[in-house]
Structure formats: structure tokens, C-alpha cells
Amino acid sequence: MSTEQNKALVRQMVEEVFNRGNTGHADLFLAPNFVEHEELPPGLPSDREGAKQLFAMLRGAFPDFKATLEDMVAEGDKVVMRMTWSGTHKGEFMGIPPTGRYMSIGVIDIIRFAEGKAVEHWGQTDTMGLMQQLGAVPARVGAEARHWAEVATKAPRML
């Protein structure tokens, strides 16, 4: 498949599975031998079933969950995307009872495709930012945090 076809599959997967919550549609996009290289929450296997369980966990905890594609680059059999995940914490998440708090975090994913399906995934999720926003760990305070907040607001947007 072409890089454009792989990018179209990513867009469809993000819309159907993440944004519409149709976790059953994950089988349309993930190969049976799919391998998850990102560390998943405890108890989830690093395969297609584990990815589907993670999708369902996110939708259960954040019913208004939204994944916004910010950037996407493709080369060969891989697609790299930068996303913003957001939602309101209305269900239990990894042992954290619902807080009603809104969260918004950055995510970077790399997906390798073969024969029209995702076969491998690597990712980096701002888990610390998520836990801070849910109140599970304290947010950074003081001069260092103010410095990095200022740096972030002045940084040019990468395209």
C-alpha cells in the first residue's frame, strides 16, 4: 500500500475507534498478529486484544474522549502522528475514581503497516501530564515550572 493509503487508514482508525468509540472496529485496522511496543497499563497484553482493551478503557473513563491529529508523516511502511488526546474524567481510570476534570495531553505514535493493516505500534504518551491533570500526582510548581511554561509558549510550531 502507498504512504497515502496508510495515512488514510490512520485517519479512519482515529475517527472510528478513538473518536466514535467503535472499539469493535479495531479489527478492521489491526492485524491479528499486531504487536504493541508501548508499555500498556498493568494486566493488558501487548497485542491486538490489549490495544482494544486500552481503547475501551479510555472511552469508559473519558466518555467524550477525542483524539485530534495535529501532524502526520509517512515514509515506507510507517506512519508517524502527533495527536492531542482530550476528555472529561467521568469513569474509573487505572484505579483513579472519576474526578470530573478535563484532561488534554500530547501523544506521538508510530505505526507500521503490512497488507493494509497495522502490524506494530510504538508510542509516547504524556502519562505524567495526564496523572497531574487528574490530581493523582502533584503538578510541578516553582521557578522551574514557570521557566518551562514560558519556553513552551515561545517555541515555534513544528510542521
Which pLDDT value is given to residue 138? 84
Which pLDDT value is given to residue 157? 53
Indicate the pTM of the whole model. Answer: 0.84
Give the span between the Cα atoms of 151 and 135, in whole angstroms.
Answer: 24
Which pLDDT value is given to residue 156? 57
Residue 135 near residue 144 (C-beta atoms within 8 A): no
Residue of 30, 94, 34 whose CA lies nearest to 62:
94
Which pLDDT value is given to residue 1? 84
Q: What angle do CA 77, 80, 81 make, to 5 degrees?
A: 145
* Domain residue extents for the chain: 3-154
Query: What dotted CATH number matches 3-154?
Result: 3.10.450.50
Q: What is the DSSP secondary-structure string of 53-107? A: HHHHHHHHH-TT-EEEEEEEEEETTEEEEEEEEEEE--S-BTTBPP---EEEEEE
C-alpha cell at 152: 513552551
Residue type (1 letter), 6: N
HSE at residue 94, side-chain half, CA atoms within 13 A, is 12
HSE at residue 12, side-chain half, CA atoms within 13 A, is 15
Each residue's pLDDT, cut to its tens digit, for the chain (159 residues) gives 899 999 999 999 999 999 999 998 999 999 999 999 999 999 999 999 999 999 999 999 999 999 999 999 999 999 999 999 999 999 999 999 999 999 999 999 999 999 999 999 999 999 999 999 999 988 766 566 666 666 666 655 544
